[in-house]
């Protein structure tokens, strides 16, 4: 589904995932569609474990990091005021 400036709403796409990888890709696509509907221009949620910090994070961004990347423990982190904070 594509969201145009005239259509500021989100309609979920069909779930056709048969593997965990396909389901992860579906979730990422849907989160990007939600972000587009909200007027957010970048990827705000990364659900696949990350091994490196994003280059240009923005306030409100969320990601799941492996241990030692954003903090000592693996888990979900939120970016706020220049820092990654474990949620």
Note whether 48 and 27 are same-domain residues: no
Question: Cα–Cα distance between 87 and 85 in angstroms, integer?
Answer: 6
Question: 0.85 exceeded by the pTM?
Answer: no
51 and 37 Cβ atoms separated by less than 8 Å:
no
- The per-residue pLDDT of the chain, averaged, comes to 80
60 and 41 Cβ atoms separated by less than 8 Å:
no
Note whether 64 and 86 are same-domain residues: yes
Note whether 48 and 31 are same-domain residues: no
pLDDT per residue over 30-56, tens digit each? 888 887 777 665 555 667 788 899 888
Q: Give the chain's length.
A: 87
The b-or-e profile of 4-42 (16+ CB within 10 A means b, else e) is eeeeeeeeeeeeeeeeeeeeeebeeebbbbebbeeebee
- Give me the number of domains the chain comprises: 2
Bridge pairing between strands 62-65 and 45-50 = parallel
Higher pLDDT, 15 or 9: 15
Expressed as residue numbers, the domain containing 37 is 1-41
């Amino acid at each position: 589904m594509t969201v145009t400036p005239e259509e500021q709403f989100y309609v979920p796409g069909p779930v056709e995932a048969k593997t965990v990888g396909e389901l992860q890709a579906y979730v990422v696509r849907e989160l990007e569609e939600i972000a587009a509907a909200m007027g957010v221009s970048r990827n705000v949620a990364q659900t696949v474990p990350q091994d490196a910090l994003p280059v240009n994070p923005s306030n409100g961004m969320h990601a799941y990091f492996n241990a030692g990347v954003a903090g000592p423990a693996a888990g979900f982190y939120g970016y706020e005021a220049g820092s990654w904070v474990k949620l």
